[in-house]
Structures are given as C-alpha cells and as structure tokens.
C-alpha cells in the first residue's frame, strides 16, 4: 500500500502541519520539517494513531526506528501495540557489539547499526511485516530500495 487510499480525514490535518522549508539544509533543497507537526498535539496523536490502528493485533514483536525521526514515532507505536522498540543508529553511536547494514544514498553511502541480539533472529528468518513512514518523496525513489517489501505512507509529496 502506498498512501492511505481511503483518505482518512486525519491525513489532511497531518499534511497541513508539515512545514516546507526551502533551501535547507543547503540551497536548492526543499526540507520537510516535522517539528511543526510535533507542536500540534492532535496532528501528532493522529499520526501515531493511524499507525497503531494499522498494526495493532498483527502480532508484531519489534518496531525498529531509523535515526532520528524514527525515534520520535517508533516508541509510542511500539508501546501501543505491545512490541519492543529497537533504535537503528548511525555508526559508532551504540555501545557494545553491533550489526551493521550499509545503504546507498543519492549522494553517497551510509550505514545503520543496531545492537546484536536486539532482534532475533537477525538477518536470517526475521520477517519484515511492513515499512512505514510519515512522508514519502517519490522522486527520491526510496520505495525501490525496499526490495519489494510492503510500504505504508501517510503523506506523499510530489514535486515540492
């Protein structure tokens, strides 16, 4: 599933609370700022609630959140559905033994790490139920990097 097809009325409120900041962090870019969404308790709660409604009762044991925005949305969703939260961090941010995964960006490479044992089993046998994000920018082609894994998107921005 891409964006919510039934157009839940909460989605409009969420989208209007996301601020578009031109030329940030550098000239020519349009930055989608979620801090304005977080300042609105109703829009923030609606965002969490939409994901909780989607995943509650699906027997999900782990919610993994990518640094840094995933740290905002992941924990309340995990708590509400009775799952543990696993932070996926940039390199050298976690103490102890970690498992790493490199990925390609439009301008280079990066890496995410998590603690060994945070998800069992790790690369073999763990099932990704779905990838979820508040915002998708289709022109960045992130969906194509998911190797066919299902994706849930609340708000899509095209040609901003």
| Angle, alpha carbons 94-104-122 (nearest 5°) | 45
**What are the φ/ψ torsions at residue 74 (nearest 5 degrees)?**
-60, -50
Q: What residue ranges do the domains of the chain occupy?
A: 59-127
The alpha carbon of residue 110 and the mean position of all alpha carbons in its chain are separated, in whole angstroms, by: 17
Which helix H or strand E contains 84, and what residues bound it? strand 84-88
Cα angle 50, 160, 106 (rounded to 5 degrees) comes to: 90
DSSP secondary structure letter of residue 3: B
Question: Residue 146 corresponds to which tokens in the numbers above?
Answer: 């998911």
- Enumerate the β-bridge partners of residue 109: 104
pLDDT band at 1 (very low <50, low <70, confident <90, very high): very low
Where do we find the tokens 């969703």? Answer: 77
Q: What percent of the chain has pLDDT over 70?
A: 90
Q: What is the pLDDT of residues 80-136, one digit of tens each?
A: 999 999 999 999 999 999 998 887 766 678 888 999 888 876 755 578 899 999 999
pLDDT tens-digit map of 134-148: 999 888 888 888 889
* 70, β-bridge pairs: none
Confidence of residue 2 (pLDDT cuts 50, 70, 90): very low
Q: Is 144 helix (H, G, I), strand (E, B) or coil?
A: helix
For the domain bounded by 59-127, which CATH number is listed?
3.40.50.2020
Q: CA-CA distance, 31 to 29, in Å (whole number)?
A: 6
Q: At how many degrees (to 10) do helices 69-81 and 41-55 cross?
A: 50
The reply to whether omega before 18 is within 30° of 0 (cis) is: no
pTM greater than 0.95 (yes/no): no
């Amino acid at each position: 599933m891409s964006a919510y097809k039934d157009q839940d009325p909460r989605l409009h409120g969420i989208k209007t609370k996301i601020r578009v900041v031109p030329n940030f962090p550098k000239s020519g870019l349009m930055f989608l700022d979620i801090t304005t969404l977080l300042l609105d308790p109703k829009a923030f709660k609606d965002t969490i609630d939409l994901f909780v409604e989607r995943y509650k009762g699906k027997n999900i044991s782990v919610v993994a959140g990518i640094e840094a925005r995933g740290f905002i949305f992941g924990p309340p969703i995990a708590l509400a559905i009775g799952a543990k939260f696993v932070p996926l961090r940039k390199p050298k941010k976690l103490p102890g033994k970690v498992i790493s995964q490199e990925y390609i960006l439009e301008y280079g490479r990066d890496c995410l790490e998590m603690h060994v044992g945070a998800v069992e089993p790790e690369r073999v046998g763990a099932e990704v139920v779905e990838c979820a994000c508040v915002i998708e920018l289709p022109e960045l082609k992130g969906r194509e990097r998911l190797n066919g894994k299902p994706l849930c998107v609340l708000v899509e921005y095209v040609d901003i």
